[in-house]
Amino acid sequence: MSLKSQDLFNVSNKVVVVTGGSRGIGEMITSGFLANKSKVYITARKEEALVKKAEELSQKYDCECIPVSGDISNTEGIDALVKFLNDAEPDGIDYLINNAGAAWGANYDDFPESGWDKVIDLNLKTPFFLTQKLTPLLEKKATSEDPSRVVNIASIDGLHVPLMETYSYTASKSGIIHLTKHLAKTLVSRNIIVNAIAPGPFDSHMLGKAVNFDYSFIAESVPRKRIGSPEDIAGLCIYLCSRAGAYTIGETITCDGGLAKLL
């Protein structure tokens, strides 16, 4: 037993998969693992930008960041990613961070089916089937002393009703919160721990587009009077994946500066 911080939160030499890991919250999480000497595979649809980001992060943190481009909102893309990882890491992976997501906003009376399907597929269907198909790789590294981990990135919009008309987004994030509990129950006996994080406002392409990348009024609405930082989200994700978080199971932890509970 060691209660030293360098042991409690040690994630060095781990193999991590972060979907949507090239920007926003995904990039923050990826950077946190790389800074602590994990090998990280990141996914995104736009190959050129993904490869550039992986090279940038590898050089910045002197650790291996590997790009895997593709559309994981459908079965073909999920299967291609799983095959790549099986070939690249035959001995298994340690952590899966289901971060890739999409949003769609439209008036209730005009909300389109396409906006529903796109968001539900990527935000809810993909985490389930990717976790299902990567379970054998996660099991290879999993032990009772050092379980493998799955962290689903939800949202506080799955916990309360947001101001914007993003019906499929709130439904998907509420769904992933409950799915996290169900997966946790199923996989704990296989030495795989599943939890979720519900972020509030962070600097991201998704939120930035909605507010023209001016976060000042959002920051004022947060009890902490700021939006989230890389340290906030990466630190929490590392906690959940480290020895310190090995007895936390099926939880959704808010990371929102107090928005969900204090307002």
pLDDT in tens, 96-144: 999 999 999 999 999 999 999 999 999 999 999 999 999 999 999 999 9
Does residue 210 register a pLDDT over 70? no
- With 0.85 as the threshold, say if the pTM is over it: yes
Contact of 42 with 15, CB cutoff 8 Å:
no
Does residue 207 register a pLDDT over 90? no
Check residues 206 and 176 and name the one with the higher pLDDT.
176
Tell me which of 169, 215, 239, 247 is the catalytic residue: 169
Q: Which class is domain 5-262?
A: alpha beta
Cβ density class 190-208: b for 16+ within 10 Å, e for less: ebbbbbbbbbbbbbbebbe
Reply yes or no on whether 108 is catalytic: no
Spans of all domains in the chain: 5-262
